[in-house]
């Protein structure tokens, strides 16, 4: 096999029975290199770029068998499984793929290789060879030991004392140690590709937390670069070439501001230079890394050598003291008030600084006159007893003089020292929490080993071992340095941050051996190298985040040069780093990056604790020395340190992370990484469901948990999308929503249709902003499918309690009685299941979520009490912006023996106690005699039912006879036209009985008069079954209005009415009378809600039930019929 073929995704060896050992048969290669083949290096860098677009990890376990599709299986030993070989590979093939799987890093090695190769060519992939010492231990050591150790540790010891400094270092080191334990567990739980800590956090906590914490880690690394650059400039201008300062301070009080301006100028130049070096080639940074590390190690060795030397020969670094006040030695040459030149006493330069003239009779500063000038040793040595003086803290305020306790001092009358005098002042106030914030960056850098996981020979062994050893080593260095500094150096010199009392020397350098320049030069190169490393690592971290695609607006930073160098991310990093440079103060920048690192470490601990507590099957770290309590302790310690360092910085960092989290949640790309937050959600859901199983919810906790039954067309599109609009408008209750539908057939035949239907429904749910679940089932018939949904939707205590369905507008036109019978069965099943039922009529006229009603009313017709759902629903609707401006009106029906006035008062009180605002009206319904129209409508309804049963109409005949009985028009003219039409029909069809003739005509009538016409009914409009004799008698009848007695006489004239089912007559009478009243009051209402009567217990009359509901709701625009579930859903109690 050629060399180039080893690097193709398609060239992974795949042995089959019957094939040669090299995967070829009869001399022909089974795998050919085509234009579509992808270099494995490029594929592993961007696995999501190729394939089906679904985010996947670059693992041989995930969809890795796609490369074998097209390779024909020709073996016979496993013929039983040959049809599944495209999805389930043979074990030998899988193991072969695992052996050839290489985890490559997106680190600087690849960029360096790309730069060395002038023309693109494929070269053999070398297995990672870095061990624990080179790959993890030394990089962590280099990143942990740095600028704070050389520039601020002595000052921290002087201010906080040995005891306080020990606690500061111990707390910070304990925090990083616990974080390293958690990180080791995560890093050894499988292969960690390039990306280091960001990869671990994002894959453990999900894209939202991963993106937020990844950006915080990026900002921390960027500000760390700014801190290192500021340290470099401070060493350069303070200790190496002070004369290089551009701005000079004439007034000593302006020295601090002048120094900051110098650092801004030089820092900007330095960041530009370093960014250019990184842009030109990271290989130069890598080659200098060992040099920088050597500088750090030599500087530390020089410190320990200097401490040993002080035991027998302390260095000579005298401090000039006036009384107990420390003097800045750069301002004078001799630490004395006067000196003897020959036999003459002359004043010194120090005298001239405190007095107005060089003469002995000059007027001098009062404190200068009262106190003597003395010299003490700045480094008395480890054998001295200075350690006892440095045990306790000596915090000070800004501008405070550095004074040595124990020296005699006569206080002066002036309240404050003159800043023009050559005293050493404290530049900032010092206190414990502030020192923690400044020190913490010195212990960061523990992620350096995990960031190089792709270069390690055995990452799962090297990362825990190397990181923990590096933390232990650096913790020992810091803790021992605190004790040694406190035991060797005078307290006032420790608190002298910039070494003004020792001629501007670096304080830690005064202790070093053989020369202070070892520390100065070593610390300069160390901080410079650390800054370059930050500018190298931060852009690649940003590039990894951008290429993940979880934050859309950052995708531009995923691009770079042809060799993969993140150019745009480098520019962004340099810009953010410049912000830290403009702050200019190292002491101000350090707490900022402390916040971001602490937040990153906190979430590493959270990830480990979460995975451990959830006990997910995939959580099997090889590093076993962890426990969730340690991770929880580390997380708590990180959070505490954030607020200890700076509570306002902590809040700002949390707000930034929170905003990023919500942005990713709202706009970011959907990723499924098997993260712990999803596992936590599953466990929380399981716990909540088990708790809900204890019993039914209390009335105060009741909310509509909706099951929406949708009808789909032949293309699996939703027929009535306004149902989902209404669902969204009802979700002020924040309950469960399940959108269900039924497909007829078998699942094996229609599983593709199920997926298509679910996708269509979910898309529509997204457009309508309906939050819930989708459930499409396949059943042999629609009735059984709906029954299955009603019975089995939901889980445990999280089940639906309300069914929302659209009224079957064409229930008369369906194929046979199936349409209305399915609906009636559904009503009966919801009643049996004690579930509420909401039926919308004219659903297509309901408003969308974008519409707004500027006024109008929502009318509630409270006829019977069904648990209060009828009153709760309009309240929930009024919370939505569509219905917000609509007023509620509640109507109730009073019988003849009811006290209407008292009913209205009681109802108003009841609504007040329910905290519902609505107008109340009591409608009186007189106990009128049943009208002829009611009898006639009932008669025709029963005749139709009987005819369908007896005649057994064929399918074609029933399609021709699809129009139902309308009977809405009661005007005399239409009645007579109907009579004449029936007579003409019978004349043309003498063999058809007269009753059938009228029935057929009525079924084909298409007139739909308004409700107003229906209200003006006269006895003349009685709709009867006509015969020739009755028509003749009607023509000769007196046209005067009939009295009620006359109407009853007409009833007596119709023998057909005497055979009617009296229960149906009473039901029809109720439907007609209620419809008249409702239309009269609520015809112009935006929405009408009314109680939905239940079907008759005698199932023989189910088909009549649909007619009753049709009559009840005629003439109304939008109707929501409500049937309670049998339990109280609203209460007057708190």
Q: Looking at the predicted structure, is the pLDDT value of residue 963 above 60?
A: no
Q: What is the pLDDT of residues 22-43, one digit of tens each?
A: 443 444 443 333 344 444 434 4
pLDDT-based confidence at residue 126 (cuts at 50, 70, 90): low
Task: Please tell me the predicted confidence (pLDDT) of residue 630.
Answer: 95
Q: Looking at residue 406, what DSSP letter applies? A: T
Q: What is the pLDDT of residues 71-94, one digit of tens each?
A: 444 455 566 666 666 666 666 666
CB neighbour burial string for 908-928, b if at least 16 within 10 angstroms, e if fewer: eeebeebebebebebbebeee
Distance from the first to the final alpha carbon of the chain: 80
CB neighbour burial string for 571-591, b if at least 16 within 10 angstroms, e if fewer: ebbbebbbebbebbbbbbbbb
Among 755, 748, 749, 760, smallest CA distance to 711 is for 760
pLDDT-based confidence at residue 278 (cuts at 50, 70, 90): confident
Backbone angles phi, psi at 1016, to 5 degrees: -90, 60
Q: Which are the contacts of 984, defined by CB distance < 8 A and separation ≥ 6?
A: none
What is the Cβ-side half-sphere exposure of residue 149, based on CA atoms within 13 angstroms? 29
pLDDT-based confidence at residue 196 (cuts at 50, 70, 90): low
Q: Which residue has the tokens 């063999």?
A: 991
Specify whether the CB–CB gap between 959 and 1098 falls below 8 A.
no
Q: What is the pLDDT of residues 714-772, one digit of tens each?
A: 889 999 999 999 999 987 657 789 999 999 999 999 999 999 999 999 999 989 888 89
Q: What is the pLDDT of residues 198-254, one digit of tens each?
A: 777 777 777 888 888 888 889 999 999 999 999 999 999 999 998 898 988 777 778
Q: Looking at the predicted structure, is the pLDDT value of residue 1042 above 70?
A: no
Torsion sign across C-alpha atoms 869, 874, 875, 877: positive
Backbone angles phi, psi at 821, to 5 degrees: -70, -35
Q: Which residue has the tokens 């078998």?
A: 746
- Report the alpha-carbon angle 903-905-908, nearest 5: 105
Among 721, 1091, 700, 1118, smallest CA distance to 886 is for 1118
Relative to beta strand 24-25, strand 28-29 is antiparallel
Rounded Cα distance between 275 and 531, Å, is: 10
Element (H, E) at 738: strand 737-744
Relative to beta strand 857-862, strand 344-347 is unpaired
Share of the chain above pLDDT 70, in %: 72
CB neighbour burial string for 982-1017, b if at least 16 within 10 angstroms, e if fewer: bbebbeeeeeeebbbbbbbbbbebeeeeebebbeeb
Q: Which residue has the tokens 């003159």?
A: 418
- Candidate ranges 281-290, 638-647, 1092-1101; pick with highest mean pLDDT: 638-647
Task: Please tell me the predicted confidence (pLDDT) of residue 108.
Answer: 45
> Distances in Å between the alpha carbon of 639 and those of 647, 1082, 1103?
10, 61, 68
Q: What is the DSSP string of 679-732?
A: HHHHHHHHHHHHHHTTSPPPGGG----EEEEE-B-TTS-BS-THHHHHHHHHGG
Q: Looking at residue 88, what DSSP letter applies? A: S
Q: Which residue has the tokens 């679904």?
A: 54
What is the Cβ-side half-sphere exposure of residue 536, based on CA atoms within 13 angstroms? 26
* DSSP helix/strand/coil, 250: coil
pLDDT-based confidence at residue 171 (cuts at 50, 70, 90): very high
Tell me the average pLDDT of the chain.
Answer: 77
State both tokens at 380: 């008395």
Rounded Cα distance between 819 and 1092, Å, is: 19
> Distances in Å between the alpha carbon of 200 and those of 143, 463, 501, 529, 1077?
20, 13, 48, 26, 69
Rounded Cα distance between 431 and 410, Å, is: 27
Measured in residues, the chain has a length of 1134
* DSSP helix/strand/coil, 862: strand
State both tokens at 884: 């917000």
Rounded Cα distance between 255 and 590, Å, is: 21
Rounded Cα distance between 516 and 497, Å, is: 16
Average pLDDT on 694-702 reads: 70
The three-state DSSP-derived secondary structure of 473-492 is HHHHHHHHHHHHHHHHCCHH
Task: Please tell me the predicted confidence (pLDDT) of residue 820.
Answer: 80
Share of the chain above pLDDT 90, in %: 31
Beta-sheet strand order (sheet of 706-710):
773-779, 737-744, 706-710, 802-806, 836-841, 1119-1123, 1087-1091, 857-862, 887-894, 919-924
Q: Which are the contacts of 582, defined by CB distance < 8 A and separation ≥ 6?
A: 264
Backbone angles phi, psi at 836, to 5 degrees: -75, 155
Q: Looking at residue 128, what DSSP letter applies? A: P
Average pLDDT on 1118-1126 reads: 89
> Distances in Å between the alpha carbon of 1052 and those of 939, 1017, 1043?
15, 20, 14
Q: What is the pLDDT of residues 611-658, one digit of tens each?
A: 898 887 888 888 989 999 999 999 999 999 999 988 999 999 899 888
Task: Please tell me the predicted confidence (pLDDT) of residue 1057.
Answer: 52
Helices of type H across 440-515: 459-488, 491-494, 507-511
Relative to beta strand 836-841, strand 857-862 is unpaired
Task: Report which of residues 267 and 77 the model is more confident about.
Answer: 267
Among 722, 727, 755, 725, smallest CA distance to 741 is for 755
Q: What is the DSSP string of 352-392?
A: HHHBSSSSTTS-B-HHHHHS-EEEEES---TTSSHHHHSSS
Average pLDDT on 52-66 reads: 43
């Amino acid at each position: 096999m050629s060399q180039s073929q080893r690097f193709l995704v398609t060239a992974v060896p795949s042995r089959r029975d019957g094939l040669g050992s090299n995967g070829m048969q009869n001399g022909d290669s089974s795998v050919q290199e085509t234009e579509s083949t992808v270099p494995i290096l490029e594929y592993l860098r961007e696995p999501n770029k190729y394939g089906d677009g679904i985010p996947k990890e670059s693992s041989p376990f995930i969809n890795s068998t796609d490369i074998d599709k097209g390779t024909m299986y020709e073996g016979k030993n496993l013929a039983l499984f040959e049809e599944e070989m495209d999805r389930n590979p043979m074990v030998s093939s899988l193991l072969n793929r695992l052996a050839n799987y290489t985890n490559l890093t997106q680190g600087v090695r690849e960029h360096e290789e790309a730069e060395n190769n002038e023309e693109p060519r494929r070269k053999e992939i070398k297995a990672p060879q870095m061990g624990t010492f080179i790959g993890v231990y030394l990089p962590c050591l280099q990143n942990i030991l740095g600028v704070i150790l050389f520039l601020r540790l002595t000052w921290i010891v002087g201010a906080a004392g040995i005891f306080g400094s020990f606690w500061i270092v111990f707390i910070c080191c304990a925090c990083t140690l616990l974080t390293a334990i958690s990180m080791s567990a995560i890093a050894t739980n499988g292969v960690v590709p390039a990306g280091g800590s960001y990869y671990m956090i994002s894959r453990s906590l999900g894209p939202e937390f991963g993106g937020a914490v990844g950006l915080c880690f990026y900002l921390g690394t960027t500000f760390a670069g700014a801190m290192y650059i500021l340290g470099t400039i401070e060493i350069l201008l303070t200790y190496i070439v002070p004369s290089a300062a551009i701005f000079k301070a004439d007034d000593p009080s302006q020295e601090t501001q002048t120094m900051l301006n110098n650092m801004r100028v030089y820092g900007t130049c330095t960041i530009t230079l370093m960014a250019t070096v990184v842009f030109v080639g990271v290989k130069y940074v890598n080659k200098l890394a060992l040099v920088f590390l050597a500088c750090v190690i030599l500087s530390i060795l020089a410190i320990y050598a200097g401490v040993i030397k002080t035991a027998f020969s302390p260095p000579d670094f005298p401090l000039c003291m006036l009384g107990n006040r420390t003097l800045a030695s750069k301002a004078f040459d001799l630490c004395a008030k006067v000196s003897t030149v020959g036999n003459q006493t002359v004043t010194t330069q120090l005298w001239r600084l405190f007095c107005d003239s060089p003469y002995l009779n000059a007027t001098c500063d009062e404190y200068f006159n009262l106190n003597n000038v003395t010299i003490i040793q700045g480094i008395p040595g480890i054998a001295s007893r200075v350690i006892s003086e440095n045990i306790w803290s000596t915090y000070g305020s800004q501008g405070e003089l550095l004074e040595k306790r124990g020296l005699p001092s006569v206080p002066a009358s002036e309240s404050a020292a003159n800043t023009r005098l050559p005293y050493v002042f404290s530049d900032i106030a010092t206190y414990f929490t502030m020192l923690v914030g400044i020190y913490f960056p010195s212990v960061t850098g523990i992620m350096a080993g995990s960031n190089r996981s792709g270069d390690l020979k055995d990452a799962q062994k090297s990362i825990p071992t190397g990181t923990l050893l590096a933390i232990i080593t650096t913790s020992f260095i810091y803790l021992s340095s605190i004790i040694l500094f406190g035991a060797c150096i005078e307290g006032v010199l420790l608190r002298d941050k910039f070494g003004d009392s020792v001629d501007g020397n670096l304080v830690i350098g005064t202790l070093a051996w053989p020369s202070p320049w070892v520390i100065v030069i070593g610390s300069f190169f160390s901080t410079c190298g650390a800054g370059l490393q930050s500018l190298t690592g931060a852009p690649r971290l940003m590039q990894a985040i951008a290429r993940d695609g979880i934050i859309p607006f950052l995708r531009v930073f995923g691009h770079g040069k042809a060799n993969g160098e993140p150019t745009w991310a480098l520019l962004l990093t340099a810009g953010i780093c410049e912000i830290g440079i403009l702050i200019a103060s190292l002491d101000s920048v350090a707490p900022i990056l402390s916040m971001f690192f602490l937040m990153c470490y906190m979430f590493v601990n959270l990830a480990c604790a979460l995975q451990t507590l959830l006990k997910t099957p995939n959580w099997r770290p090889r590093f076993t020395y962890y426990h969730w309590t340690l991770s929880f302790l580390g997380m708590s310690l990180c959070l505490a340190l954030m607020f200890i360092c700076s509570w306002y910085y902590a809040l700002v960092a949390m707000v930034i992370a929170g905003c990023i989290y919500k942005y990713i949640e709202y706009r970011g790309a959907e990723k499924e990484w098997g993260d712990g937050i999803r596992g936590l959600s599953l466990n929380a859901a399981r716990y909540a469901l088990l708790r809900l199983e204890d019993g039914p919810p209390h009335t105060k906790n009741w909310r509509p948990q909706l099951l929406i039954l949708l009808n789909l067309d032949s293309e699996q599109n939703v027929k009535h999308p306004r149902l989902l609009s209404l669902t969204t408008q009802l979700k002020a209750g924040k309950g469960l929503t399940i959108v269900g539908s039924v497909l007829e057939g078998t699942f094996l035949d229609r599983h593709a249709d199920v997926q298509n239907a679910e996708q269509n429904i979910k898309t529509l749910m997204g457009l309508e902003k309906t939050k819930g679940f989708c459930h499409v089932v396949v059943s042999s018939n629609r009735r059984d499918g709906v029954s299955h949904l009603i019975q089995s939707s939901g889980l445990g205590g999280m089940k639906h309690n309300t069914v929302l369905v659209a009224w079957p507008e064409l229930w008369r036109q369906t194929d046979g009685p199936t349409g209305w019978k399915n609906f009636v069965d559904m009503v009966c099943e919801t009643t049996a299941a004690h579930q509420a039922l909401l039926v919308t009529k004219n659903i297509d006229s309901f408003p969308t979520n974008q519409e707004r009603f500027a006024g109008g009313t929502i009318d509630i017709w409270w006829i019977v009490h069904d648990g209060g759902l009828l009153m709760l629903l309009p309240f929930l609707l009024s919370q939505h912006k569509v219905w917000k401006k609509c007023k509620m009106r509640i109507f109730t029906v009073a019988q003849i023996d009811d006290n209407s006035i008292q009913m209205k008062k009681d109802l108003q009180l009841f609504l007040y106690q329910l905290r519902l605002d609505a107008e109340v009206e009591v409608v009186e319904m007189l106990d009128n005699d049943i009208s002829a129209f009611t009898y006639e409508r009932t008669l025709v309804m029963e005749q139709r039912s009987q005819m369908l049963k007896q005649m057994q109409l064929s399918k074609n005949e029933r399609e021709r006879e699809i129009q139902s009985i309308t009977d809405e028009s009661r005007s005399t003219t239409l009645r007579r036209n109907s009579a004449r039409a029936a007579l003409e029909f019978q004349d043309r069809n003498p063999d058809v009985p007269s009753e059938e003739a009228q029935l057929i005509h009525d079924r084909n009538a298409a007139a739909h008069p308004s409700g107003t016409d229906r209200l003006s009914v006269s006895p003349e409009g009685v709709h009867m079954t006509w015969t020739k004799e009755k028509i003749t008698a009607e023509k000769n009848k007196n046209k005067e209005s009939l009295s009620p007695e006359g109407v009853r006489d007409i009833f007596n004239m119709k023998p057909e009415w005497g055979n009617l089912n009296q229960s149906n007559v009473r039901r029809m009478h109720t439907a007609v009378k209620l419809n008249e009243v409702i239309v009269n009051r609520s015809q112009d209402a935006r929405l009408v809600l009314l109680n939905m009567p239940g079907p008759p217990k005698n199932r023989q009359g189910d088909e009549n039930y649909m007619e009753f509901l049709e009559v009840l709701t005629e003439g109304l625009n939008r109707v929501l019929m409500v049937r309670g579930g049998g339990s109280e859903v609203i209460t007057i109690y708190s």
